[in-house]
Copies of this chain bind each other. A is one copy, B any other.
Amino acid sequence: MSKGEPTAADLGEFGLIDRLAAALGAPSDERLVVGIGDDAAVWRAGDAYVIGTTDTLVAGVHFLPDRVAWRDVGWKALAVNVSDVAAMGGTPSFALVTLCVPPETPAGTLDELYAGLRECAEVYGVTVAGGDIVSSSVFTVTVALAGAALVSDGGAPLLLRRNAARPGDLIAVTGPLGGSAGGLRGLREGTQLEHPSLLEAHMHFWPRVDAGDIAVRAGIRSGVDISDGLVQDLAHICEASNVHAELRLDRVPLHPDLIPAYPQDAPLMAATGGEDYELILVGSRGAIELADSALRRHLELPDDEQLTIVGEITAGPADVRVLDASGSEVKFARGGWDHLKRR
């Protein structure tokens, strides 16, 4: 190979995905509705639309094997995929589970992992239909999840797309943010036991299939789940839709235990911390209000699981401007998560 050739770390996760998409060429199968670049893929199968997604957790990268419960790892491995299906407005159904297992792994560790998988599968109505188990020196769990899209009377799939935000749309989030970032910070600083609700938010989050389903029924057509952080995930919508977003930092709902734990940093942690797995929903005021009212009426959720409007979409450069209560711009280092990039 030539000297100075770039490495995976130089390109980063998003660079590698772009490079893969380019190498594969433009897809030609007319059944493909959504390909690389959204929360999940969507394709037609007969008269149905399948939503397909996959996510992987690597020991030492995505979780610290000696600091977490393996049951939580099992939950999370499936839940991150459930959240991707929710972020498309769909309902999860069947999963394939791949485990790369160091041969010396105690069977009891796997039993705990399986219990967490089962718990999440039961809560979200997912059936594990198959998978693969192989040997590796690094423990890895990969879940591929298929779900179903709601289909209109005319036979079209009703989806939450990253590329469907329009100027004039409002930006809403489905719940309080920053809890997961607080839990991760506790783990890193060794203070996780002082803030158990934050640790819980980090390890045992609840994907919002309910909110995604109600959103598409209410006519919302754009959304994403908050895995990289509110600002970065909203930026994905701006880039895909070629619109600008104004985000009001003071309106971002905070996890209730985040302010006592990290009073200084709470707002920025909520805006840039990843892995809350609430949804960002972008739509007309009417659609957002309809969805909010449906969530309140039908699901009788507590107040903090309702929609909160945190900003609006405008015409302008395809990025996110963060504003404080007075309307002044808040500048901070771009957050978000790229495991491959050097920091």
Contacts and interface: CB of A to CB of B under 8 A. Distances in A.
Interface of A: 1-2, 5-11, 13, 16-17, 19-20, 23-25, 27-29, 31-32, 34-36, 38, 40-41, 43, 45-48, 50, 52-56, 58, 60-62, 93-94, 96-111, 114-115, 117-118, 121, 125, 127-138, 140, 142, 144, 146, 148, 339-340, 342
Contacts of A19: 107, 110-111, 114
Contact of A45 (B48, B99, B101): B48
Q: Quick one: copies of this chain in the complex? A: 2
A76 B103 CA distance: 24
A24 B56 contact: no
Given A19-B110, A102-B8, A340-B101, A43 B129 contact: yes
A9 B108 CA distance: 13
A45 B43 contact: no
A192 B186 CA distance: 53
B93 A135 contact: no
Contact of A103 (B8, B117, B136): B8
Contacts of A20: 97, 110, 114, 128, 131, 133
27 contacts: A8-B106, A8-B107, A8-B110, A11-B107, A16-B110, A17-B131, A17-B133, A19-B114, A24-B114, A25-B118, A27-B129, A32-B94, A36-B131, A38-B130, A40-B130, A43-B93, A43-B94, A43-B146, A45-B93, A48-B48, A53-B130, A56-B134, A60-B137, A61-B135, A61-B136, A132-B142, A140-B140
A216 B140 CA distance: 36
A193 B23 CA distance: 29
B16 A127 contact: no
Contacts of A110: 8, 16, 19-20
Contacts of A56: 98, 100, 132, 134, 142
Q: What 6 A-B pairs have minimum CB-CB distances, sorted nearest first?
A: A46-B48, A144-B144, A41-B129, A23-B114, A9-B103, A41-B130
A10 B102 CA distance: 12
B100 A140 contact: yes
A8 B104 contact: yes
A324 B48 CA distance: 51
A107 B7 contact: yes
Given A16-B110, A101-B8, A142-B142, A96 B52 contact: yes
Contacts of A128: 20, 24, 27, 36
A52 B146 contact: yes
Nearest to A41: B129
A58 B136 contact: yes
B107 A10 contact: yes
A93 B52 CA distance: 12
A49 to B, nearest CB: 8
